[in-house]
Structures are given as C-alpha cells and as structure tokens.
Amino acid sequence: MPFESLDGFLTPADRFYVRTHFATPVLNADTWKLEIAGAVKTPLHLTFDDLLKLPSRTAAVTLECAGNGRQLLEQKVKGVQWTLGAVGTAEWTGVPLATVLDQAGVGQDAVDVVFEGADRGEPGTDPKPRGLIPFVRGLPVAKALRPEVLLAYKMNGKPLTAPHGYPVRALVGGWYGMAAVKWLTRVVVTDRTFRGYGESIDYAIWDRRYGPPSLSPVTEIEVKASIARPMAGETVPAGKDVRVHGAAWAGGADITKVEVSTDAGANWATARLVGQAVPFAWRLWEYDWKSPPAGRYTLMARASDSRGRVQPMLRDLDRRGYMINHVVPTPVEAKA
Ligand SMILES: Nc1nc2c(c(=O)[nH]1)N[C@H]1C(S)=C(S)[C@@H](COP(=O)(O)O)O[C@H]1N2
Ligand SMILES: [Mo]
C-alpha cells in the first residue's frame, strides 16, 4: 500500500505490501503439511484440518519490513528501495505456536525455533551458501512460546492469499516482518543457537553493546511514527486548516505520544491518538495544522512509547539497511 493512502486501522489484503525473496510457491491446503521436528519429544505432521481443529486466536498485528524506509536513507544501502509503504496492519487468525509445540513437547535442551517456508531460491548477497535454500527464520524458544506468535491461516477474516503465505504463515507480533515466515511447512526446534542466512548475512545489524561490533539478528520493531498525508512534495491550501495524519507503532510496546513539527523540528505539538491501544498493532494519529500561511514547510512526526523510547532524529549506521526509524522530513508547500 502506498502509505499515503492510509485510511483506516486495518489494511486490506490486496493493498498490503508484499515482500517475497524467492518465487511464490503454489501450495494446496488439502495436501499441505506442517512438520514439527528437532528437539521435541514427539515430532508431528499436522494437516490443515488438524490445525483448524485447534483453538484459534484473532488479533490485529502490524507487520513492518525491516527495510521499510530504505529509500529515504542518505547513504544508499542494498535491498528493495521501500519508501514508507512496507508496513500494514491486518487482523490475523491462527493457532498459537505454543499449542502445537506443547503437543510436540519441547525438549529441555531447546534453544531456538526455526520457521521454514516452502519457497526456495538463491540468496543475493555474499557470503552465501551453495545452491537453493529455503526462506527460514529462527527465534528464541521463549519468544516462540508467547501468545503473539501464531500459525496464521486467515488475514482480515479470509483465507491467506498466495502472496501473503497461503495456506499458513507464521506471525511474530512485535518483530519485524522477516520472522513472519510465509508458506510455512516446517518448524524445527534447535538445541543450539541457529544462525542462518537470514539471521547473519541478511537481517542482521552491528551491535556494540560489548564495545566491539558483533552481528546480531534484527528482532523487535522500533518506535516510529510515519506521516501518511500530506505526503512529501504535496501542496496544501494556504490559510485553511490541514489535517496531518498517519500511524505510529512500537512493536510490543504502546505508543504514548506522537508529536508533530511543521518547522523542521524546531517546535513540536502533540498529535491526537485515535481509538484505543491494541497490543502489537499500530495507533493512528492526527493533528490539526491551523491555517498555515503560504510558504514552504518541513513536517516531521516523532513517536514515544511505553518503554521510554523516543524516535531518534538521526540514522544509526550500525543498522545497515534495516530498522529505519529516525525522524524523516516531509517537505510541503502551502499555496493560496
Ligand atoms: N517464506 C517466506 N516468508 C517470508 C518472506 C519470504 O521471502 N519468504 N519475506 C519476509 C519478509 S522480509 C517480510 S517483510 C514479510 C512480508 O510479509 P507480506 O509479504 O505478507 O507483507 O514476510 C516475510 N516472510
Ligand atoms: Mo522484510
């Protein structure tokens, strides 16, 4: 979805961004099976019907690609050049992964849970393993057992569409999109840390918490507000009130405040948060920009969250092409 067409809390499936690394596999729910393997007491093979018989949950969850906003970086980095649109919120229905892992019995020695999709391809960046690899993503077993981790089979009340992972995808509330593995066919519980292509070469950032940088997988979504309208370069009527609006999200934390500046960050005013906070979902916000005189302006939005995080003004280059949440200027012109 072009972010400027944001017009409600839920993003329709046909306007939801699609990020797919390899060719989209054609799967059939009648023949689909999910294998649960590795450090479990009883390996399982679930059919789609088996999954439907288990208790489900429905929750609105925001999915953001870790590369969302990449096009706005001053220093160009590899990857799909997203502007603002690689984010959306859908109501997902699925079975908590914990239910299935409980059936299988997670071993004492379990460390990570690795989701494997049915899509295969050759990864783009060196160093890369030989041949075709499946799209996979691991997460610590403690996160995998949380209720916001779903084996989702519905999006906004309808079966998943092929681009969004039909028949079943993982959904990891609070984490960037790379963990929400589509066309899910295997879940492997490992007995040591899993560092695949998607946790080390792709979707990894330099972490300096111990001083020297070490590569760490991208995990939780950062705090961020995006302006939907006016969009960059838009002309608004001078002397009339202008509705500035957008969405703000912070992974597993709640948005506590969104501030708007119309003068490139010199002064900030508090925007109105719309509706109620929904865990793991974005919060819409709006701000009445009182009759701007004719001229050129730089709009900015900045979010704060319940963990005390505030959106930074500057880009952290250690994040390579991921987790892009610094405040970005939106130049607009008010014309009579
Ligand atoms: N199997 C598989 N799952 C995947 C991907 C993929 O390429 N293959 N892309 C991931 C990435 S990087 C993102 S941002 C989300 C995007 O989900 P969407 O296409 O439904 O918006 O799916 C994730 N799951
Ligand atoms: Mo992504």
For 250-275, how does the pLDDT look when each residue is reduced to its tens digit (9 = 90+)?
Answer: 999 999 999 999 999 999 999 999 99
Give the closest ligand to the alpha carbon of residue 88. Answer: 1
pLDDT at 185: 98
Check residue 262 and report its DSSP letter. S
Residue of 248, 197, 222, 209 whose CA lies nearest to 323:
222
Give the residue-averaged pLDDT of 129-149.
97
Give the closest ligand to the alpha carbon of residue 198. Answer: 1
Q: Is the pLDDT of residue 75 over 80?
A: no
Residue 18 Cα to ligand 2 midpoint, Å, equals 9
pLDDT tens digit sequence for 192-234: 999 999 999 999 999 999 999 999 999 999 999 999 999 999 9
Tell the residue nearest (CA) to atom 18 of ligand 1: 18
- Ligand 1 near 202 CB (within 6 A): no
- In the structure encoding, which two tokens stand for residue 301, read together? 């939005």
- Ligand 1 near 65 CB (within 6 A): yes
pLDDT at 145: 98
d(CA 176, CA 322): 10
Q: Is the pLDDT of residue 84 over 90?
A: no
pLDDT tens digit sequence for 272-287: 999 999 999 999 999 9
Tell the residue nearest (CA) to atom 24 of ligand 1: 181
Q: DSSP labels for 296-319?
A: EEEEEEEEEETTS-B--SS--GGG
d(CA 112, CA 217): 13
pTM score, two decimals? 0.96
- Ligand 1 near 328 CB (within 6 A): no
Residue 31, class by beta-carbon neighbours within 10 Å (0-12 exposed, 13-18 middle, 19+ buried)?
exposed
pLDDT at 104: 98
Instruction: Answer for the pair 314, 75: CB distance below 8 angstroms, yes or no.
Output: no
Give the residue-averaged pLDDT of 73-85.
76
d(CA 283, CA 249): 6
Tell the residue nearest (CA) to atom 19 of ligand 1: 18
Give the residue-averaged pLDDT of 9-24.
95
Q: Average the pLDDT over each of 83-92, 201-210, 325-334 and give the range with the smallest value.
A: 83-92
d(CA 249, CA 216): 22
Q: Is the pLDDT of residue 38 over 70?
A: yes
Arithmetic mean of pLDDT over the chain: 96
Tell the residue nearest (CA) to atom 16 of ligand 1: 19
Reported confidence tier of residue 1, pLDDT bands at 50, 70, 90 = low
- Ligand 1 near 178 CB (within 6 A): yes
Query: Bridge partners of 89?
Result: 62
Residue 144 Cα to ligand 1 midpoint, Å, equals 17
Give the residue-averaged pLDDT of 120-147.
95
61 alpha carbon, distance to own chain's centre: 9
Q: Is the pLDDT of residue 54 over 70?
A: yes
Q: Is the pLDDT of residue 16 over 80?
A: yes
pLDDT tens digit sequence for 181-195: 999 999 999 999 999
Q: From residue 75, how far is each of 127, 198, 242 by CA, in Å?
A: 22, 23, 32
Instruction: Answer for the pair 236, 288: CB distance below 8 angstroms, yes or no.
Output: no
Q: Which is more confident, 57 or 3?
A: 57
- At a CB cut-off of 8 Å and minimum separation 6, what does 325 contact? 69, 222, 223, 224, 311, 312
- Ligand 1 near 21 CB (within 6 A): yes
d(CA 70, CA 273): 26
Residue 55 Cα to ligand 1 midpoint, Å, equals 25
Tell the residue nearest (CA) to atom 20 of ligand 1: 164
Residue of 311, 300, 315, 265 whose CA lies nearest to 74:
315
d(CA 83, CA 73): 9
pLDDT at 49: 98
Q: Is the pLDDT of residue 78 over 70?
A: yes
- At a CB cut-off of 8 Å and minimum separation 6, what does 107 contact? 39, 40, 41, 189, 191
What b/e string do you get for 212-222 counting C-beta neighbours within 10 Å, with b at 16 or more? Answer: eeeeebbbbbb
d(CA 55, CA 185): 20
Instruction: Answer for the pair 218, 137: CB distance below 8 angstroms, yes or no.
Output: no
Q: Is the pLDDT of residue 80 over 80?
A: no
